[in-house]
Amino acid sequence: MTKNVNKNESITSQEENFSQWYTDICLKAGLMDYARAKGFIVYRPYGYAIWELVRNWLDGEFKKTGHHDVYLPLLIPESLMDEEKEHVKGFAPECAVVTIGGDKPLTEKMYVRPTSEVLFCDYFKDIVHSFRDLPVKDNQWCSVVRWEKTTRPFLRGAEFLWQEGHTLHATKEEALDETLGQLKLYERLGREVLAIPFETGKKTEKEKFAGAEATYTVEAIMKDGQALQSGTSHFFGQGFCQHFGIKFLDSNNKQETPWQTSWGVSTRLIGAVIMVHGDDNGLVLPPYVAPIQVEVIPIRFDKDPKVKQAALDLVEALTKEGIRAEADFSDKTPGWKFSEYEMKGVPLRIEVGPRDLAAGNVVLTRRFDGVKQTVALSGAAKAVPTVLKDIHEAMYAKALAYRDSHIHECHTYGELKDVVTTGQGYAKVMWCGDQADEDKVKADVNATSRCLPFDQTPFDDKCAICGKPATKVVLFARAY
Ligand SMILES: [Zn+2]
């Protein structure tokens, strides 16, 4: 964690209390507020706008690869939920249930969707009959409800916004390609948009999605050394389709069962952005998810009409370059405005003041590292896209260096425990594959297996936890 001498006094420092720092940012940067219903939050415009930018980018990519948006109902009848036993066992304990409609008790309970697999299966069985109906590549943008007892804004709560993709394919290979293709897309979202280097891999049997054959994940490491599962992609095999009687006739008129996937990311990503990039002065937004990319701060504009005009012209020129820019002409002092937009994490501030203006210049200040640059006013708008790109790259490089320094190869159980309990990030260990080890780590130090990384190069022959012969490389960490 970095110490900052110019700390914003209204935010708890990361070092003092990381969890309070996080809550301070969520509230004070205007991202959310707590709602009247316990466990629920209000997504305020500035927070929602970050989600919108994530959504727009992903939506464009989904459409490019032939996916279509659909919308299925909010409620799942109990009889439908019960059709897939493993799945219902996984989700029922955290479901909200509707038992009254109008003023009459319902004859059948209705689950508020915690996820929509069974709804999709029920719908797919009516629309898929022949190989010509495949593949089906649907995506739904919606909210889901899981009755969590604790609220941590964007990370854990009763309701979150997400996308859930659901696809059916004629062959196993095609479904596996889809599963891993979407995982790669989430990895690109991290690399190209969020400036977050995700750790990717496969979940263990214990941690996989209820009803899936395999779950793949993108994990990120936060500034307190804890991991955050940031997106998952599931390969369902044919299990759900068999349960729900989804069949198709192949080109030889033979009846076959399709292969299925589902994949999703949620508003948790906002939490990831806050905790990967934020500092003691507030939020630090990567440029491509910043609702405001440039804040123009006019200095003494009330005394000098030329300053006001120059600021207005600059915002107009920036907008023409496709930059999300605005100027603050409120009567607050420039100092107040500097800390306000630092708090809100605006990537670039441009000061327009009488003295610099007389020399034909403006001053650019980067939020994430405070680097200042004086540029000619005439070329400022054209220079900004490159400056934002540089900021994005530098933020990614910094997050990558942090991530890489928070993966530790451990050879003993003592080393594993030390790494996960002292905020050092992931303990990378060789493991025998026995679920009892995962239970033990959870009980002893409250850490979980995050993933089996794709690179499975062994570095020891004994399981670090129980000493039996090791067969897998696995990452353990404490997680949100
Ligand atoms: Zn073991």
pLDDT of residue 7: 62
Kindly state the tokens that stand for 252.
């030889």
Instruction: Please report, for the domain that includes residue 427, its CATH number.
Output: 3.30.110.30
Instruction: Specify whether 224 is located in the same domain as 324.
Output: no
Task: Write the pLDDT tens digit of every residue in 261-303.
Answer: 999 999 999 999 999 999 999 999 999 999 999 999 999 999 9
Cα 454 to ligand 1 centre (Å): 20
Cα 207 to ligand 1 centre (Å): 16
Cα 459 to ligand 1 centre (Å): 15
At which of 226, 245, 277 does a domain end? 277
Radius of gyration of the chain (CA): 25
At which of 251, 277, 303 does a domain end? 277
Cα 329 to ligand 1 centre (Å): 63
Instruction: Specify whether 239 is located in the same domain as 194.
Output: yes
Instruction: Specify whether 112 is located in the same domain as 260.
Output: yes
Instruction: Specify whether 88 is located in the same domain as 197.
Output: yes
Instruction: Map tokens 């005009």 to a residue.
Output: 309
Instruction: Specify whether 366 is located in the same domain as 272.
Output: no
Q: In what order do the strands lie in the sheet with 259-266?
A: 68-69, 136-145, 159-169, 259-266, 227-237, 214-221, 199-202, 448-453, 472-477, 426-431, 407-409
Q: In angstroms, how far is CA 227 from the centroid of its own chain? A: 12
> What domain range includes position 455?
407-477
Instruction: Specify whether 199 is located in the same domain as 301.
Output: no
Side chain identity, residue 276:
V
Cα 235 to ligand 1 centre (Å): 26
Instruction: Specify whether 268 is located in the same domain as 334.
Output: no
Cα 416 to ligand 1 centre (Å): 13
Cα 61 to ligand 1 centre (Å): 41
Task: Note whether residue 402 is domain-resident.
Answer: no
What's the predicted TM-score (pTM) here?
Answer: 0.95
Cα 477 to ligand 1 centre (Å): 17
Task: Note whether residue 162 is domain-resident.
Answer: yes
Instruction: Please report, for the domain that includes residue 224, its CATH number.
Output: 3.30.930.10
Cα 66 to ligand 1 centre (Å): 43
Cα 444 to ligand 1 centre (Å): 15
Task: Note whether residue 132 is domain-resident.
Answer: yes
Cα 446 to ligand 1 centre (Å): 17
Instruction: Specify whether 299 is located in the same domain as 327.
Output: yes
Kindly state the tokens that stand for 155.
């990370």
Cα 463 to ligand 1 centre (Å): 5
Cα 453 to ligand 1 centre (Å): 17
Cα 476 to ligand 1 centre (Å): 13
Instruction: Specify whether 197 is located in the same domain as 76.
Output: yes
The widest CA-to-CA distance across the chain, in whole angstroms, is 82
Cα 237 to ligand 1 centre (Å): 28
Cα 434 to ligand 1 centre (Å): 5
pLDDT of residue 10: 85
Instruction: Please report, for the domain that includes residue 332, its CATH number.
Output: 3.40.50.800
Task: Note whether residue 126 is domain-resident.
Answer: yes
Task: Note whether residue 8 is domain-resident.
Answer: no
pLDDT of residue 1: 39
Instruction: Specify whether 261 is located in the same domain as 323.
Output: no
Instruction: Specify whether 316 is located in the same domain as 431.
Output: no
Cα 457 to ligand 1 centre (Å): 17
Q: Assign 3-class secondary structure to 159-215.
A: EEEEEEEEEEECCHHHHHHHHHHHHHHHHHHHHHHHCCCCEEEECCCCCCCCCCCEE
pLDDT of residue 325: 98
pLDDT of residue 89: 81
Q: How far apart are CA 333 and CA 223, in angstroms?
A: 32
Instruction: Specify whether 69 is located in the same domain as 129.
Output: yes
Task: Note whether residue 341 is domain-resident.
Answer: yes
Cα 218 to ligand 1 centre (Å): 24
pLDDT of residue 6: 52
Q: How far apart are CA 210 and CA 262, in angstroms?
A: 12
Cα 432 to ligand 1 centre (Å): 4
Cα 229 to ligand 1 centre (Å): 24
Q: What is the pLDDT along the chain (480 residues), one digit of tens a residue?
A: 333 445 677 899 999 999 999 999 999 999 999 999 999 999 999 999 999 999 999 999 999 999 999 999 999 999 999 887 777 788 888 899 999 999 999 999 999 999 999 999 999 999 999 999 999 999 999 999 999 878 899 999 999 999 999 999 999 999 999 999 999 999 999 999 999 999 999 999 999 998 899 999 999 999 999 999 999 999 999 999 999 999 999 999 999 999 999 999 999 999 999 999 999 999 999 999 999 999 999 999 999 999 999 999 999 999 999 999 999 999 999 999 999 999 999 999 999 999 999 999 999 999 999 999 999 999 999 999 999 999 999 999 999 999 999 999 999 999 999 999 999 999 999 999 999 999 999 999 999 999 999 999 999 999 999 999 999 999 999 999
Using alpha carbons, select from 141, 175, 144 the residue that is nearest to residue 157.
144
At which of 394, 423, 443 does a domain end? 394
Task: Note whether residue 11 is domain-resident.
Answer: no
Cα 430 to ligand 1 centre (Å): 8
Task: Note whether residue 211 is domain-resident.
Answer: yes
* Total number of domains in the chain: 3
